[in-house]
Amino acid sequence: MSHTPEKPRIGIIGTGAIGGFYGLMLARAGYDVHFLLRSEFNAVSQRGLNVDSHVHGPLRLDAVQAYASAADMPPCDWLLVGAKTTGNDSIGPAIVAAAAPGAKVLNLQNGLGVEEALRAVLPDSLHLLGGLCFICVHRTGPGQITHQAFGAVNIGYHSGPATDTAASQSLVEQGAALFHAAGIDSVAMDNLDKARWQKLVWNVPYNGLSVLLNASTTPLMADPHSRELIQALMAEVVQGAEACGHVLPEGYAQQLFTLTEKMPDYRPSMYHDFIEKRPLELDAIYVRPLAAALAAGQDMPRVRALFQSLAFLDTANRRAFG
Amino acid sequence: MSHTPEKPRIGIIGTGAIGGFYGLMLARAGYDVHFLLRSEFNAVSQRGLNVDSHVHGPLRLDAVQAYASAADMPPCDWLLVGAKTTGNDSIGPAIVAAAAPGAKVLNLQNGLGVEEALRAVLPDSLHLLGGLCFICVHRTGPGQITHQAFGAVNIGYHSGPATDTAASQSLVEQGAALFHAAGIDSVAMDNLDKARWQKLVWNVPYNGLSVLLNASTTPLMADPHSRELIQALMAEVVQGAEACGHVLPEGYAQQLFTLTEKMPDYRPSMYHDFIEKRPLELDAIYVRPLAAALAAGQDMPRVRALFQSLAFLDTANRRAFG
């Protein structure tokens, strides 16, 4: 495939459920997409990527441009980061190796402070944007992804060569246009930090409780005690956000709660990480929000108790594996 | 065995780990002890009671005076209640059936408000005392008990015909004398409610976290995150007690924490209840303390979150069984 300025070349750094789904959608829309993989390199090279989408139907990408090393990738204009935050040490060098001059790095990771962590290992010449994925998607096997619901990617500019609002806004719009062309909703966000707090209102209770209580969303939403606990955790995150200067829209937590009730039964990413004995994304989803809120004078006692419980389980889980 | 006024006759209502251990110790001391059992009646009638005590060595009671029905028991002067609080509906009638006139009922259950719950189903003519067991003991099979450490039973008068302090104090001393004769420490407590709060400082964190984190005391005390959580939960219980008018001794929580570090590895009773898919004692250990503290203007947010998590797990656990 040729690289034309009209159709930017896209690199996927970390082809899990998120990277695989969006990469496949963009490739199907005619973009030149290159996928960086680790353990699934052989499987995906040989058998392609499959998405069982309950929204779009079964989707398949046969000839996947797959790479085991970022050094082998062609220079990409956009780099979508789908790798776990727990692997951030190796993500930076991979991005640098695959980046065209002045490339745009779109970070699709969960949690707070994930752009700051990535920025620290990126050269100043690269743009860094944050993308918040509102999607129910999970990996079921090598190159096998199930997409249960939703799909939007909301984008905000974080840092880089764009020094004025017009320049950064233009890049955000270019990013949104990629997704629109692939049939995916995407809106611009002017406050990335606030948007990340908003997503935490969902991630903090559901990711953590799915591990702690060994439960998917449907049973969590069916029991009166877990419902109360979810609402109390959400309320603490809303308070934490407010302490950090982000007043969330009135009724925002209740809206997410109601949305989750109507969602298909879903196991958040942390549940899958735990079952597969991978490290949990505790820094991004718990440690940094707790520290930010506390620095602003607001403790989140239930969130902290949840984090402490998860940290214990994470250690025990991976010790059992070793 | 004959019933002499010098040696009161003792009935054990619920012969689990607690009832079995203390009943055996009292029988070995020469008391006439009668044991009420349910599922283990046949096993204990035929094979006796065995306590593998790491304190006293192996202990055995061959000819156990065992009963499947309280109606068959002779009238007892002291009734020791070792049954779970979750079975309280049937405990009242059993006590009444086995009680001699003016009998003393010594409640060895865990938690808050357990005397009030029992009092409601007892006639006014019976004395009710509370006994707080400081012991590491658990059942390993029918009639098989392991005693790991400690053993004291501290006693306070709750309610009944003793209308002045001298009368109630005399009964508390009679109770303590039973245990002393059996080689067991026992001191009088003048404030039963305060003593129950003090025991909650241990029970709230360790019982709950043993279930939530599927862990015994040694791993819970070895991980920095669970240690912090235990201390935070203890601090909330101390605050709850204080709101209810019970200022606990300075450094009391830290003392229990340090004691637990030095204890042999221990799985609290709630852990065993969960593994055996029995209902958890959530009312006595969580619901009533939370309600009492809240009524006094003090919430215990981490304790509440722990309770809500346990309530979810308890329901799921017993549903899986049915």
Interval B279-301: pLDDT, tens: 999 999 999 999 999 999 999 99
Subunit contact A301:B229, Cβ cutoff 8 A: no
| Sequence-ordered list of residues with C-beta below 8 angstroms from that of A231, at least 6 positions apart, any chain | A253, A257
8-state DSSP, A287: I
Give the one of B228, B232, B309 whose C-beta lies nearest to A212's C-beta.
Answer: B309
Instruction: Provide the mean pLDDT of chain B.
Output: 95
Is the pTM for the entire model greater than 0.95? no
For residue A297, what are its two tokens?
């004078």
Specify the DSSP element, H or E, that contains A318. helix A301-321
* Strand spans (E) along A2-126: 9-13, 32-36, 49-53, 57-61, 65-67, 76-81, 99-107
| Alpha-carbon span B10 to B103, nearest angstrom | 10
Q: What is the pLDDT of residues B213-246, one digit of tens each?
A: 999 999 999 999 999 999 999 999 999 999 999 9
| Torsion-angle region of B190 (φ positive above 0: left; ψ -120 to 50: alpha; else: beta) | alpha
Cβ-based interface (< 8 Å): residues of A facing B? 209, 212-213, 215, 219-220, 223, 225-226, 228-229, 232-233, 301-302, 304-309, 311-313, 315-316
Q: Inter-chain contact A213–B313, Cβ cutoff 8 Å?
A: yes
Q: Of A219, A233, A308, which has the smallest distance from its Cβ to B226's Cβ?
A: A308
Give strand pairing partners of A135: A150
Pairing of strands A76-81, A99-107: parallel
Q: How far apart are the first and last CA of chain B?
A: 43
pLDDT tens for each residue of A279-319: 999 999 999 999 999 999 999 999 999 999 999 999 999 98
Within 8 A of B233 by CB-CB distance, chain A residues are: 305
**Among B54, B63, B126, which Cα is nearest to B93's?**
B126
Cβ distance B232 to A302 less than 8 Å, yes or no, reads: no
Question: Are the Cβ atoms of A232 and B315 closer than 8 angstroms?
Answer: no
Can you tell me the ipTM of this complex?
Answer: 0.92
- Residue A89, pLDDT score: 81
Do B315 and A213 count as a contact with CB atoms less than 8 A apart?
Answer: no
Write the CB contacts of A253 (distance below 8 Å, at least 6 apart in sequence): A201, A231, A234, A235, A237, A238
**Per the structure block, which two tokens stand in for B12?**
């054990």
Cβ contacts (< 8 Å) between A306 and chain B: which residues?
Answer: 305
- CA torsion sign, A243 to A314 to A105 to A22? negative
| pLDDT value of residue B2 | 44
Residue from A104, A199, A262, A277 carrying the catalytic annotation = A199
Q: At CB < 8 Å, which residues of chain B contact A?
A: 209, 212-213, 215, 219-220, 223, 225-226, 228-229, 232-233, 301-302, 304-309, 311-313, 315-316
Q: Burial of A166 by CB count in 10 Å (0-12 exposed, 13-18 middle, 19+ buried)?
A: exposed
- In sequence order, the 6+-apart residues with CB closer than 8 A to the CB of B219 are A316, B226
Q: How many CA atoms lie within 13 A of B151 on its CB side?
A: 23
State both tokens at B47.
């094979």
Would the pLDDT of A251 be above 50? yes
Q: How far is B226 from chain A (nearest CA, A)?
A: 6
Q: What is the pLDDT of residue A5?
A: 53
CB B253 within 8 A of CB B238: yes
Q: How far is B210 from chain A (nearest CA, A)?
A: 11
Active site residues of B: 199
In three-state form (DSSP H/G/I as H, E/B as E, the rest C), the secondary structure along A143-182 is CEEEEEEEEEEEEEEEECCCCCHHHHHHHHHHHHHHHHHC
Contact A253, A238 (CB under 8 A): yes
Asked if pLDDT for residue B145 goes beyond 80, the answer is: yes
Q: Among B228, B229, B311, select the one facing A225 at the smallest CB separation.
A: B311
Cα distances (Å, whole numbers) of residue B282 to A297, B17, B303: 33, 19, 11
pLDDT tens, residue by residue, B1-45: 444 557 899 999 999 999 999 999 999 999 999 999 999 999 999
Q: DSSP alpha helices (H): ranges in chain B?
A: 17-28, 41-47, 88-98, 114-119, 165-181, 192-212, 217-222, 224-243, 252-262, 269-275, 282, 288-295, 301-321
As a whole number of angstroms, the distance between CA A123 and CA A145 comes to 33
Contact B308/A229, CB-based, under 8 Å?
Answer: yes
What residues of B are in contact with residue A287 (Cβ under 8 Å)? none
- What is the rounded end-to-end Cα distance, in angstroms, of chain A? 43
Residue A86 binned pLDDT confidence (cut-offs 50, 70, 90): confident
Contacts B315 to A, Cβ<8 Å = 223, 225
Q: How far is B88 from chain A (nearest CA, A)?
A: 23
Tokens at A38, concatenated? 């680790």
3-state secondary structure B170-238: HHHHHHHHHHHHCCCCCCECCCHHHHHHHHHHHHHHHHHHHHHCCCCHHHHHHCHHHHHHHHHHHHHHH
Which are the contacts of A55, defined by CB distance < 8 A and separation ≥ 6?
A147, A149, A150, A151
